[in-house]
């Protein structure tokens, strides 16, 4: 990639708990891609689901990033105070006939692989709470893009179902909030885990419908346990190290997980030295387009 001050990347964790090694690999990949391009790297806290976000988790995450030397540009953004922007986008979609209220419960359609779209034509029950869904059958389809690691991708979002944009409890859903915030923050490059690759078609539909720019995408292999289970906060993946020696070791292991082949002597260097080397030597071409990396 040609170095450019126009590059703007981001790391956008959900503060449902402290970061783990898989989170570090995703954060490090996005950081290195931005810094190697001479661009900016932002942090956004995606806290639109308060029941999943224990108090203080966001501060813990920011402290962890600082401990590993991952310094961000600009002020951290929190999604919890972005209601008006998301509501405006939803109203724009509804005016185009691309968003509709849905009163169906998951229990009603659990026998189906995806939500069957029963409320698409204004059939929601006015006596029940409603969620708002995207009409994936009417928005642009199929969706295709060139992933920087996994190559050409094409999906028909209608086969994935009508994704929720706003929940019945009036909380905003990930797809809409992420798209609106990426556009407002001028994000040019989305670098994230492979588990989010199949979210991209809905996000592209929303970007097109809302006339928002399309960022470049780089999906990174997932870090999994020796049993093949994705590292996550839900399965109690160990939190990142805090002691200096362990921090150096984990950062070095994250560089290895990103296929950057750091020299062995770098393993005992402080984060600043490791990151200096990593930015200077970052290459997406070194990444192997396989789906998984095993946790050390």
Concatenating the DSSP letter of every residue in 128-189 gives S--EEEE-TTTSS-SEEEEETTTEEEEE-GGGT---EEE-TTSPBPHHHHHHHHHHHTT--E
Q: Given this model, what pLDDT does residue 3 score?
A: 42
pTM assigned to the model: 0.93
Tell me the residue length of the chain: 296
Q: Given this model, what pLDDT does residue 232 score?
A: 73
Q: Given this model, what pLDDT does residue 268 score?
A: 96
Q: Given this model, what pLDDT does residue 176 score?
A: 98
Q: Given this model, what pLDDT does residue 234 score?
A: 67
Pairing, β 40-45 against β 8-11: parallel
In the chain, the N- to C-terminal Cα span, in Å, equals 30
What totals of helices (H) and strands (E) does the chain contain, helices first?
8, 12
Q: Which residue has the tokens 């849905």?
A: 102
Q: What is the mean pLDDT of each run of 10 residues along the chain (296 residues)?
A: 71 95 97 98 96 93 98 96 97 97 92 93 85 96 97 96 96 97 98 96 98 97 84 77 95 97 97 98 95 86
Q: Given this model, what pLDDT does residue 80 score?
A: 93
Burial degree of 102 (CB within 10 A; 0-12, 13-18, 19+):
buried
What's the half-sphere exposure (Cβ side, CA atoms, 13 Å) at 115? 22
């Amino acid at each position: 990639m040609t170095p450019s001050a126009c590059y703007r990347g981001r790391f956008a964790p959900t503060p449902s708990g402290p970061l783990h090694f898989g989170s570090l690999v995703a954060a490090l990949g996005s950081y290195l891609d931005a810094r190697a391009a001479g661009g900016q790297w932002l942090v956004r806290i995606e806290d639109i689901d308060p029941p999943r976000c224990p108090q203080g988790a966001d501060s813990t995450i920011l402290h962890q990033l600082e401990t590993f030397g991952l310094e961000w540009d600009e002020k951290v953004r929190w999604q919890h105070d972005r209601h008006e922007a998301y509501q405006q986008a939803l109203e724009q979609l509804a005016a185009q006939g691309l968003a509709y209220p849905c009163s169906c419960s998951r229990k009603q359609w659990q026998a189906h692989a995806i939500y069957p779209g029963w409320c698409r034509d204004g059939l929601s029950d006015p006596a029940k709470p409603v969620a708002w869904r995207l009409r994936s059958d009417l928005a642009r389809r199929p969706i295709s893009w060139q992933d920087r690691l996994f190559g050409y991708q094409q999906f028909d979002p209608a086969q994935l179902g009508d994704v929720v944009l706003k929940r019945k409890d009036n909380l905003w859903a990930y797809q809409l909030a992420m798209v609106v915030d990426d556009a407002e923050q001028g994000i040019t490059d989305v670098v994230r885990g492979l588990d989010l690759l199949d979210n991209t078609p809905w996000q592209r539909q929303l970007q097109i419908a809302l006339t928002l720019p399309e960022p470049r995408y780089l999906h990174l292999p997932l870090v999994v346990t020796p049993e093949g289970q994705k590292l996550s906060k839900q399965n109690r993946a160990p939190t990142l190290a805090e002691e200096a020696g362990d921090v150096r070791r984990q950062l070095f292991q994250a560089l290895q997980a990103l296929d950057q082949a750091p020299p062995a002597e770098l393993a005992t260097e402080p984060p600043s030295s490791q990151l200096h080397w990593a930015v200077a030597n970052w290459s997406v071409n070194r990444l192997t387009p396989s789906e998984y990396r095993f946790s050390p």
